Amino acid sequence: MPELLAADATIGEPAVNISIFGAFVLITLFITFRASRNNKSAADYYAAGRNISGTQNGLAIAGDYLSAASFLGIAGAIAVYGYDGFLYSIGFLVAWLVALLLVAELMRNTARFTMADVLAFRMRERPVRMAAAISTLAVSLFYLLAQMAGAGGLVALLLGVSGDAAEALVVTLVGALMIFYVLVGGMRGTTYVQMIKATLLIAGAFVMTVWVLGEYGFNLSSLIGGAQDLAVEGRNVAEPGAQYGLTGTTKLDFVSLGLALVLGTAGLPHVLMRFYTVPTAKDARRSVVWAIWLIGIFYLFSLVIGYGAGALVGPAEILGAPGAVNAAAPLLAFELGGTVLLGIIAGVAFATILAVVAGLTITASASFAHDVYASVIKRGNVPPNGEVKVARITAVVIGAVSIGLGILALQAGLNIAFLVALAFAVAASANLPTILYTLFWKNFTTQGALWSIYGGLIICVGLIIFSPVVSGVEGAMFPDANFDWFPLRNPGLVSIPASFLLGWLGTKLSKEEPDQLKNAELEVRAFTGIGAEKAVQH
Amino acid sequence: MTDPAERRLLTPEEYLEAQNSPEFAELKRRFRRFAFPMTFAFFAWYLLYVLLSTYAPDFMATEVFGNVNLGILLGLAQFVTTFAITHLYVAHANRNTDPIADEMRERLERHDFAPGSTASSEGATRA
């Protein structure tokens, strides 16, 4: 239905949208070039020389984490479904406590560039690095897919282009820019792009929030009342259940989604990677604290923006626009401030997508170059800068793959918050159990790690493939095929406990004796910070 | 990248000695005393919220003022508790764990936990 209206439903002035986005690109390109002067070693390229301050990193984390899903997806879900969309933001925020309390500082103290560094510390290096790299690539690709789908939806709405070829061209442009940032700027350039973007995004959301609240006399109750007036027939946007309350299966789906959201964050490789860019564990802590405040405040804004879009634009118009649910925030911007505000918000949304895909690309390429190429293939015998060279090549390959996937994702029309939720489910299933076991269970073995990572990954992706997301119902990727024997759209409820169980079982059934000396080193380093990688001096 | 003088790496025995020291046990105990119960608490509170939203929608729809109902208020309360726990954790780390961690790190850098070093004798339970 949404696609039919695409051609004549463009809003705003494409020239304004393009010029604001162009200004962002020019400024960030300039900064990226400046940042690239100091890119010499692997620590520079992957971890910005570990010279980013805690406060800066907190801002960059917010820029990395507040993806198009947060901005467009959550606002859209709240606009259309009300309360049920709110759960996304709560899960995405509470999840940070797992990172703060259990993961961030200990990982900063023990890892160099990737999650696998910690696992390789006391387990057989090559198999665990391979497993961690595969799950990192899988999570990154899911996440990239969601961002590219978001880019596609925005393009149709904002730039006044329609038709497959034009949309594909824009996705290619976004992908090419992202590759450029990553190749030239490395982690330092990417960090600056994310910081600028976070500032713009939060400022833009603040303006919209105040504006919407102003329209309703700063009264949340009348705002919700306004959203209710335009709500889809028979739907109460203030109460839970509009999206997930229909049947017993959808209720279970909601719980499953909630579980994946809260456990996914601390297993996201591009989030973990940000912890390695600061000089000490204390800075890692400080950056998470900043990130929690910025992200939390942003989600409070998005609640207002979501209900505001529901009240001032209305679900009927949102669902009828190209990009459907994801169009809520841009449509609201147009309603409030006309062409200029729409142009600003559109520019911010593009910047958002660009910054997040750059972060994902550098993470995925670091994992391949550092874990697979340097350790598994070359067994550590890599010439100086050989690893970074491979990382750069990998970034180009990943960029090309995500351009391809993004073009395919344009056709699907799924809510991008939902696609990101699937990436969270994969991260929570494949990565988090192994990270927690490695940090807190001294008897955990290689076999336990492998069972947990591969088991969690295979079960999670497998359940998605056999779910109604992929086949069997209208709106699925293959609506005409029927292999949807798993009823839930969110796999976390099954795959996360299964992965924890497999990690435990694999350890119990393995003959491997845990290495007490290595375990002592890991634990002492994790808790005291001795021997942690230091910042690079330039 | 690192100063050559600092490259005098710690031996596995030093790490073992440090791990077995009473101050390290205390550091870990203080870390866990906060992190584990708090993780359990926020996770349970979050799950309760999700389950109430799912299986007790009528309860959550109880209107408190105007169109603002209990579900929205409890959702906003999740934000409040997240900010509060963040604050409590930072205070706990600054007061209770950082001093021990900093002191142990300095002692490790001085190789105080090397076998034969006088400073480590109190925690030496292994030969």
Helices A416-430, A446-465: axis angle to 10 degrees equals 150
Q: What is residue B125's predicted lDDT score, i.e. its pLDDT?
A: 39
Measured between beta carbons, which residues in chain B are less than 8 angstroms from residue A292? 82-83, 86
Q: How many Cα atoms within 13 Å fall on the side-chain side of residue A157? A: 35
Q: pLDDT band for position B8 (50/70/90)?
A: low
Mean pLDDT, to the nearest integer, of A161-179?
78
Report CA torsion sign: A386, A387, A390, A391. Answer: negative
**Is A451:A500 a contact under the CB 8 Å cutoff?**
no
Measured between beta carbons, which residues in chain B are less than 8 angstroms from residue A288? 86
Measured between beta carbons, which residues in chain A are less than 8 angstroms from residue B1? 41, 43, 534, 536
pLDDT of residue A474 exceeding 80: no
Round the CA-based radius of gyration of chain A to a whole number and report it.
Answer: 22
Measured between beta carbons, which residues in chain A are less than 8 angstroms from residue B82? 93-94, 96-97, 292, 296
Q: What is residue A79's predicted lDDT score, i.e. its pLDDT?
A: 92
Measured between beta carbons, which residues in chain B are less than 8 angstroms from residue A93? 78-79, 82
Q: What is residue A5's predicted lDDT score, i.e. its pLDDT?
A: 37
Phi-psi region of A295 (alpha: psi -120 to 50; beta: other; left: phi over 0): alpha
pLDDT of residue A42 exceeding 70: yes
Q: What is residue A156's predicted lDDT score, i.e. its pLDDT?
A: 66
Residue that is written with structure tokens 């024997």 in the block: A485
Q: What percent of chain B has pLDDT over 90?
A: 66
Q: Is residue B70 part of a domain?
A: yes
Mean pLDDT, to the nearest integer, of B114-126?
53
Q: What is residue A410's predicted lDDT score, i.e. its pLDDT?
A: 67
Q: Contact B98/A282, CB-based, under 8 Å?
A: yes
Closest CB from B57, B104, B109 relative to A241:
B57
Q: What percent of chain A has pLDDT over 90?
A: 40
User: For residue A289, what is the nearest residue in chain B, using CA coordinates?
Assistant: B86
- C-alpha span between A394 and A379 (Å, rounded): 18
Mean of pLDDT over chain B? 86
User: For residue B111, what is the nearest residue in chain A, using CA coordinates?
Assistant: A530
ipTM: 0.90
**Is A229:A65 a contact under the CB 8 Å cutoff?**
no
**Is A483:A522 a contact under the CB 8 Å cutoff?**
no
Q: pLDDT band for position A412 (50/70/90)?
A: low
Least confident of A134-138, A370-374, A430-434, A457-461: A370-374
Q: What is residue A70's predicted lDDT score, i.e. its pLDDT?
A: 76
Domain of residue B21 covers: 10-116
User: For residue A86, what is the nearest residue in chain B, using CA coordinates?
Assistant: B75
Closest CB from B15, B61, B68 relative to A220:
B68
Maximum mean pLDDT: which of A11-15, A417-421, A533-537, B107-111: B107-111
What's the Cα-to-Cα distance from A99 to each of A106, A223, A234, A478, B28, rounded to whole Å? 10, 34, 40, 36, 18
Q: How is domain A2-528 classified at the CATH fold level?
A: Sodium/glucose cotransporter (1.20.1730)
pLDDT of residue A342 exceeding 60: yes
Q: Is residue B72 part of a domain?
A: yes
- DSSP states of A94-147: HHHHHIIIIIHHHHHHH-SSSHHHHHHHHS-HHHHHHHHHHHHHHHHHHHHHHH
Q: What predicted TM-score, i.e. pTM, was given to this entire model? A: 0.90
Mean pLDDT, to the nearest integer, of A328-348?
86
Least confident of A68-77, A207-216, A431-440, A445-454: A68-77
Would you state the structure tokens that stand for residue A433, as one six-digit string?
Answer: 């159990």
Q: What is residue B26's predicted lDDT score, i.e. its pLDDT?
A: 95
| Beta-carbon contacts below 8 Å between A and B | 163
**Which of B74, B105, B106 should one mutate to test binding to chain A, selecting the residue with the greatest count of A CBs within 10 A?**
B105
Mean pLDDT, to the nearest integer, of B55-83?
93
Mean of pLDDT over chain A? 86
- Between A17 and A267, the more confident residue is A267
Closest CB from B35, B76, B90 relative to A102:
B35
Q: What is residue A3's predicted lDDT score, i.e. its pLDDT?
A: 37
User: For residue B48, what is the nearest residue in chain A, using CA coordinates?
Assistant: A255
**For chain B, what is the domain count?**
1
Q: Contact A86/B42, CB-based, under 8 Å?
A: no
Q: pLDDT band for position A538 (50/70/90)?
A: low
Q: Contact A296/B83, CB-based, under 8 Å?
A: yes
- Beta-bridged to residue A169, according to DSSP, are none
Chain A nearest CA to B121, separation (Å): 18
Q: What is residue A244's predicted lDDT score, i.e. its pLDDT?
A: 79
SS3 B68: strand
